[in-house]
Structure 1
Amino acid sequence: MLARVVRANFAQLPNKELAFFEYKRKLEFDEYSGLTATIFGATGFMGFYIGKVIGAMGSDIIFPHNHAYIFSDNGMDFDDQDLIERMVKHSDVVINLLGPRCDLKRYEQFEYINIKVAKRLALACKRNERIKRFIHFSAAAAAEDSPSLDFRSKHFGEQEVLSIYPQATILKPCPVFGLNDHFAFSMYNQAHHIYGRNVIFSDLQAVKQPIEVRDVAQAVKNVLRLEESKGKTYYLGGPYQHTMKEIIEIMYNYYYQEPMPLNFPKELATKIATHRFMLPWKYFNHELIVKEDLQEVVPAGALATRDLLIKPASFRQGIAEVQPEARPWKPSLKD
């Protein structure tokens, strides 16, 4: 059976040529969910994995995007509320994976994608009686006093979503790792651009609780299965907590390489990254500098992956997914 992509009501939108990524891999389904899911931000890192899991349930999937901005989550015209409502008109499930890119510097830019657009999506779900579930992604470190513009705006965004659509399920992942991620994979690639070194802006004592991307996708699937997850907030984290120093050591031990950190003063790096003439770079930007020194763990007593019946993989177990071809050889244990 082939997973289908719904195209209804998108064929004749004036001046807005919308297209879809078609998921055409032949699958053998054990079930047919009968759901139609619209995934906003599916062109990002987690979209492929989540779309694959939901498609394997026997669901129809809509990946709305604009050809002109095929690699940017916020390239579409989200100021058009009617367009958003037409995207979700025939959907049973709506998932919001939208988030800012590294080229943003001002709070107003983060506020737009994390708060204003999230409100419009929640409003579209509220007006559509067919929609059964709305899943909104935030962050485990989201807080109103966070020095990160991303985390601060995500906190207010999830509050706005719940005020409009109280039945929404909020998922707050810790750093997510996997192929093409913005965490471990990004650190590995940074070393290739800076002569084998990783730029360090802190003492690397900040504690993280990384979770593998396939476990995040499984969490979305289980949320759809569990009716009691409506209106609840879940923190998604791995089984262990590590300092940033431990994470770097685990990663480079897997690659049989010696980590070579390059210490850079945080104050100076922040000034350079926020300068108006500084071109933003994936491996050197304001949010990267700030987030390195922030705790990202599951709070004690909060609903977590265990409440979604998931036993996540550890960072050591899942590191092969980050850069599988980067392990060139395996040392012999023989004398």
Structure 2
Amino acid sequence: MKPFKLFVISSFLVLSACGSDNSTNSESSRIASSGFVPADSPSPPLLISEQELDAAMQCSEGFGSDSGRAVLLVPGATQTVESNFSWNYIPAFDEAGIPWCAVDLPNSNTGELQASSEYITHAIRKMFRTTNTKIAIVGFSQGGVMPRWSLKFFPDTRDMVEDMIGIAAANHGLIETSLLCATPVIGCITSFTQIAVAAKWLDALNAGGETLPGIDYTQVYTRTDDVAIPNFDEENGVSSLRTGEGNKVNIATQDVCLTNTADHFLVGSSDAVGYAIVSDALSHPGVASLERLKAQVPALCLTPFMPGVDPLSFPINFATKMMSTFAQSVALQPKSTEEPPLRCYAGGMC
């Protein structure tokens, strides 16, 4: 989509959401800019039709009114549910009897993030209302960051989520996308402009605290990540969550198995240690426990693949699903030459 057209559409949506009460709009912008969004604040309306939001969701056969807690899977940037999860987490959850839903985001999750987050917000609400039970969220890379936007700016979702689990999440921005998007003539896929270091979208998300009370945040990262960099430690890493009132833990795969060498895409798709951390968080109250995980050593460290991954078909699945979709998305998805404006509710112009 051309930048001017994107700007016009974004501006129209902002004005539609804000209404005509200038004092109310100003207050909304001020609160959002400060980073403080009270739990009792009204959530902004979703601008995408319910029919379109429903069509983006898919759920397991075991998901329903009596399924208990379910997991929402959110794919990473450049990925779809099929490419990211169909050959690993989905079969693993099915085998373990864990009900799940997953959501495909526009343009293989390369579209404008404020619009894409509406799909996640809708999925949270629909899953909670179906099961009447708080859900867990598991997201990879950019998909591990985006649900935090829903939780912050759509406050009603906070009482619907128990666990927020990010795998190699870009919580503090990606240096690579900053460099990739630096050439204004060429541009880059839209979400890359918003997940770059110092992007307005990311600054709005992290302002006022990265976590919220009442939600358990488990962040899985690898020190050998080649995309979310640097990720050498908890104090300075791209993936770690360090502020806010939420119950939180950041665990590197190397904290469990010192010799683990999973990179960005492997930790989010096939790595046994990464999955073990996710599974521990899902299986126990609160966040994942390093002490419980270390009790699985050395057997865990000698396990080459997570449950759900077929060792024989792994090379083909990894190449033709995850990496092929990544390459095609970077090359073919619509480009932007500048970051889209923040919406009114997030501190943008009203």
TM more than 0.5: no
Greater length-normalized contact order (CA 8 Å, ≥ 6 residues apart): 2
What TM-score do the two structures reach when normalised by structure 1? Answer: 0.41
Q: Between Structure 1 and Structure 2, which shows a larger proportion of helix residues?
A: 2
Q: Which has the larger radius of gyration?
A: 1
